[in-house]
Amino acid sequence: MVIFWRLLLGHLLADFTFQSNFVNAWKRKSIWGMLAHCAMHPIAYIALTYPYLNDFWVNTAWIRLQGWTCVLLIFFLHFIEDEWRVFTIFKFKTPDNFLYFAWDQVIHFACIFMFFPMTMADAAAGNWIPEKWPVLGCLLVLVTHFCTVLIYFLEKDLFSGYFPDFDEKYLTMAERLVLALCFLLPGWWFIPLCVAWMGNMAYLRYKRLMDFSWFSFYVGGVVAALCGLGARAIYYS
């Protein structure tokens, strides 16, 4: 599970945190843009799993694959999936909606799941989180960049919403991040602070000092609270 969580963190960083609006537009217009985007993934994977790259991640009676080979295969499969998604959107007019976005992520997660080593002994022992920091890193990306994209697709499908501009994007990410971090306070102090911060967010929106939709406010708040609770459970375990 050490390698799985590190690979998952690498995927989230490369697919969301490091994928700017420019890269997202470039990959839809040119194969070079797609290659540039997909190349971020093996870079992130190698940086995070470097101590384990010479180990055999896939080690069966039929096939043995070292970490280096697995990283290249994941890169190749990611490129095919993303190129296929762009191709179907422009060629067959497939709706670029929430369901397609969710399906795309499921395929990427499945490709990562194919190549991480986990023995039956590990599974039986319930050793699902051997390291805390990669899981906390995943939650950090989920509450910031991933949640921004999630809300965008949901609002786009439900209300014909638009992708937030620079200020709205990063201000709302900061508000969600602060709320999630409040859950890491020791004892029970996090409860009144979380309530106070949610009240502050509601007040700023009511006064139009923060111009974001009610949908973004509530969905973002729920995602931040869930990620915060998850982070708290992991951090203090």
How far apart are the C-alpha atoms of 37 and 19, rounded to whole Å? 7
pLDDT tens digits for range 186-223: 988 889 999 998 998 888 877 776 767 889 889 999 99
Q: Is the pLDDT of residue 86 over 90?
A: yes
Query: How would residue 66 be classed by pLDDT, with cut points 50, 70 and 90?
Result: very high
Contact partners, residue 130, CB within 8 Å, separation at least 6: 1, 2
Dihedral of CA atoms 85, 89, 91, 92 in degrees, nearest 10, equals: 110
Q: Amino acid identity of 108? A: H
Q: Note the pLDDT tens digit of each residue in 29-49.
A: 999 999 999 999 999 999 999
Non-local CB neighbours of 137 within 8 Å, separated by 6+ positions? 9, 12, 13
Instruction: Give the rounded distance of the alpha carbon of 236 from its chain centre.
Output: 23
pLDDT computed for residue 120 by the predictor: 43
Q: What are the tens digits of pLDDT across the range 5-30?
A: 999 999 999 999 999 888 999 999 99
Q: Is the predicted pLDDT of residue 170 greater than 80, yes or no?
A: yes
pLDDT of residue 124: 53
Least confident of 115-129, 150-164, 221-235: 115-129
**Dist CA 167 CA 212 (whole Å):** 11
State the distance between the two ends of the chain, measured CA to CA, in whole angstroms. Answer: 17
Whether the pLDDT of residue 233 is over 70: the answer is yes
| Every domain of the chain and the residues it spans | 2-131, 139-235
Note the pLDDT tens digit of each residue in 105-144. Answer: 999 999 998 887 665 445 555 667 889 999 999 999 999 9
CA nearest 98: which of 41, 159, 140, 143?
159
The average pLDDT across 80-108 equals: 93
Q: Which residue has the higher pLDDT, 119 or 163?
A: 163
